[in-house]
Amino acid sequence: MKTLTTILFAMLSVSCATGYKVQSIETSLQAKGQVGQRMVGLNDKKEIILQEEVQADDEMRIMQAVNDKFEFELGHEIHMVNRCRKELSDPRLGGNGELPTLSKMDGLKTPEQIKEEIGITDEGDIKVVKKTYFIDALKSQKRYKTTLEKMIVLSKEQREECEYKMGNARMKAGLPSARFEGDVFERSLDEAFEIQAQRKSVVASH
């Protein structure tokens, strides 16, 4: 029976006795099949193992690509929250000209603020230190990913809360609760009132 021997790159925790040194771990599997990129086999203890090799630089690139996607999503959600708050502040919707406060707004952070706290530059490097241990850089990217995910959830909650309030305010002002979309796209509150006025004019002319 074919035996598969692979050398896996081990990422070690800082608390490990070998510190930041790279270890090579040799594992032997009796190959039984393959699931996607993972090998299925039996180890020396006859345990079924799913084994996958990932190069260290590939893991970093994948992590950064995922974070780029989350950055874009968070940026969009924050933009929509800010747009909603700005429209809610409009006197035509019952606002007083000041941005309304949402329940968890203080906890919402932009990607730039998160990077500043963690210490990641826009290029993905660790600030100040020119030579960085790979494990530290990877940990920072993972922390960044975790925080981005939390902020995306929070921003969506804030957007939902704000748009619920805005929907009620729009109806009181004679607008539909949701922004105009489809054949007529609403890019601002001014356009919303213009579209509504045009539709009323068309109805009145018939």
| Claim to verify: residue 13 and residue 113 sit in the same structural domain | no
* Tens of pLDDT, residues 12-69: 333 333 445 545 444 566 766 766 666 677 777 777 666 666 666 777 888 899 999 9
In terms of residue numbers, what domain contains 25? 3-51
Domain count, the chain: 2
Whole-model pTM? 0.69
| 19 and 82 assigned to the same domain | no
Shared domain check, 72 and 33: no
pLDDT at 166: 96
In-domain check, residue 146: yes
Give domain status of residue 171, yes or no: yes
Judge contact between 49 and 130, C-beta under 8 A: no
* Selection from 90, 94, 108 nearest residue 159 by Cα: 108
Residue 99 lies in a domain: yes
Alpha helices in 89-133 (DSSP H): 111-118
| CA trace torsion 198, 199, 201, 206 (10° rounding) | 150
Summarize pLDDT for 106-149 with one digit per residue, the tens.
888 999 888 888 877 665 544 433 455 677 778 888 999 999 99
β-strand pairing of 38-42 with 3-10:
unpaired
